[in-house]
Amino acid sequence: MRWGAGAGGSRLVSGTMTIHRRLEERLAAFKGAQRALLFGSGYLANLGVVAALGETGTLVCSDELNHASIVDGCRLARGRTAVYGHGDVEHLRWLLDQAPERRAVVVTDSVFSMDGDVAPLEELAALARARGATLVVDEAHATGTVGPGGRGAVAEAGLDGEEHVVVVGTLGKALGAYGAFVAGTSALCELLVNTARPFVFSTAPPPPAVAAALAALELLEEQPERVDQLQANSRALRDELAREGFDVAGSSTQIVPLVIGDAHRAMAVCEAALAQGVFAQAIRPPTVPEGTSRLRLAVMAAHTKPELREAARTLGRAALHAGFRPGDGMPVAAAS
């Protein structure tokens, strides 16, 4: 009733409202940053940040398993892009040492969306600092799920507030709303206000979604035990799946992939699990490479231990029904 259903315009025209400022201030404090800036979606945020920072004469180094929005941001950047092996700090070091460019940006997911593993952020940040580079970290799957009070993998690595670290986060996953944000220095946000095209030329996020994200953030800060419960549930599900013979060693978070390999067999396992009441979505090419189709599980804090135990048993039965014996799958190697 106060702000309406939509913002009605871009942030720089008439779209900035009090509710946008409130959430940006709370997000900046939550992430330990000087300032935060709202975007319409995580996809738009990554496009805007990577393209704005990856100007002409800049080397953009991107993890090979980064999300598609980061990949597309690299494509829009005017600088040169170099892809380093997944989590391979030494490969990244070599790329930076060989680069003729005077400026560099390193961009990575923190929690990788298809594998559930976490980037070596401390090492990446130390290397970026030593080379005078900017480190951009997409915390889409870490905000609200990882780190002290759910503040993310950057905070868990002790990097919150570091001036050379830029954090991208989403409001549409753990916070259950819609939209995204970038957190960093005031100078960075001022740069984005003036040069990030998805910010300049997009209608501002709708006030109801912004207010919902603000309420969710307040709830998360008031009840940090939700994050502890989520992490405990994640460990419980991985333990139960391991007992069923699944290889879950690659995941350390609430995202747990069960690599099946063949796309048709992955769909068969998915459908067999759905028929028995377990929602385990099959992920196939082009989201992941050929031969690495999988079921991607996402744990919630609200799950109970008996539910997780029964889900693991159901998935074991579904795999056998589809002709896949757990333990026979391929090592996890995904591309978002």
Task: Return the active site residues.
Answer: 113, 141, 173
Tell me the CA distances in angstroms from 18 to 39, 106, 283, 314, 327, one per residue in order.
15, 33, 40, 48, 53
**Amino acid present at 50:** V
Identify any residues that bridge with 255 across adjacent strands, giving them in sequence order: 298
Q: Phi/psi at 160 (nearest 5 deg)? A: -65, 135
Spatial distance between the Cα atoms of 319 and 80, rounded to a whole number of angstroms:
44
Sheet containing 255-261: order of strands: 255-261, 293-298, 281-283
Q: Are 102 and 132 in contact (CB under 8 A)?
A: no
The four Cα atoms 68, 69, 74, 75 give a dihedral, to 10 degrees, of 80
**Amino acid present at 221:** E
Which 8-state DSSP code applies to residue 332? P
Q: Residue 153 CA to chain centroid, in angstroms? A: 10
For the chain, how many residues are written? 336
